[in-house]
């Protein structure tokens, strides 16, 4: 039976992402890292056995990020799906459990957000009935996005479930903070050589933040928080 929920992998290609996000000095390695991120996101999505649609910059329509995302989600709804779970390729600690949780919450009439530690989001689960045109006007790609989305869902009167906040990778500082974890994952084994080239003496790495890897999901009503 066809699922009424679809995963939308909304991202740039690795070559385009490399131009916007310089994680390491080597252009070739930078592109390889971004491709590994995309490959991981696709593997994670496939584990859920939900239908997947990928839309990158070659298929995106609009003048800015909000318009492009609105158009992409709308295209998926136009295929007959009732719910869309949008993910990107830059959150390497997102798991299939996160996506499955979002799918279950959507089936119960609740929307779902995976907040990122910088104020953005790494996952957005939304139902067709709550998908309004003004969602494209939110503060996409800023630290205000999570607050904007909570305010948006509050205005339409729907309950929101939250995943645990996680780190997405937008710059070299964030990448270096998670490098030791990444090189242990499938598809990222080559990062061991990247680390050696960047940091010949591993003992000099003193920045080791605590990373929360388990998807401890929790649910709560929308909080009325203005982005103003």
The CATH number of residue 153's host domain is 3.90.550.10
Strands 218-220 and 121-127: unpaired
Average pLDDT over residues 56-68: 91
| Residue 227, in any domain of the structure | no
- Percent of residues, the chain, with pLDDT higher than 70: 84
Overall domain count for the chain: 1
| Residue 164, in any domain of the structure | yes
pLDDT reading at 150 higher than 60: yes
pLDDT reading at 103 higher than 70: yes
92: containing domain: 5-220
Neighbouring-strand partners of residue 160:
111, 220
Could you identify the residue written with the tokens 């070299």? Answer: 172
Q: Which pTM was predicted?
A: 0.83
| Residue 226, in any domain of the structure | no
Helix (H, G, I), strand (E, B) or coil at 212: coil
| Residue 225, in any domain of the structure | no
How buried is 173 (Cβ within 10 angstroms: 0-12 exposed, 13-18 middle, 19+ buried)?
exposed
| Residue 86, in any domain of the structure | yes
E strands within 105-214? 111-115, 121-127, 160-162
């Amino acid at each position: 039976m066809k699922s009424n929920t679809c995963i939308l992998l909304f991202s740039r290609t690795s070559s385009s992402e490399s131009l916007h996000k310089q994680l390491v000095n080597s252009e070739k390695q930078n592109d390889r890292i971004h491709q590994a991120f995309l490959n991981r996101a696709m593997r994670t999505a496939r584990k859920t056995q939900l239908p997947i649609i990928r839309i990158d910059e070659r298929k995106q329509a609009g003048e800015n990020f909000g318009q492009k995302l609105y158009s992409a989600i709308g295209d998926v709804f136009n295929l007959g799906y009732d719910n869309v779970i949008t993910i990107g390729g830059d959150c390497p600690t997102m798991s299939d459990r996160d996506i499955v949780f979002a799918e279950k919450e959507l089936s119960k009439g609740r929307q779902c957000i995976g907040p990122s530690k910088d104020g953005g989001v790494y996952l957005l689960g939304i139902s067709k009935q709550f998908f309004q045109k003004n969602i494209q006007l939110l503060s996409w790609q800023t630290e205000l996005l999570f607050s904007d989305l909570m305010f948006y869902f509050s205005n339409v009167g729907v309950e929101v479930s939250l995943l645990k906040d996680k780190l997405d990778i937008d710059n070299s500082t964030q990448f270096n903070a998670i490098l030791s974890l990444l090189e242990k994952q499938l598809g990222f084994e080559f990062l061991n050589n990247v680390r050696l080239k960047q940091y010949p003496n591993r003992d000099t790495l003193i920045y080791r933040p605590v990373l929360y890897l388990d998807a401890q999901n929790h649910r709560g009503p929308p909080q009325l928080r203005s982005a103003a």
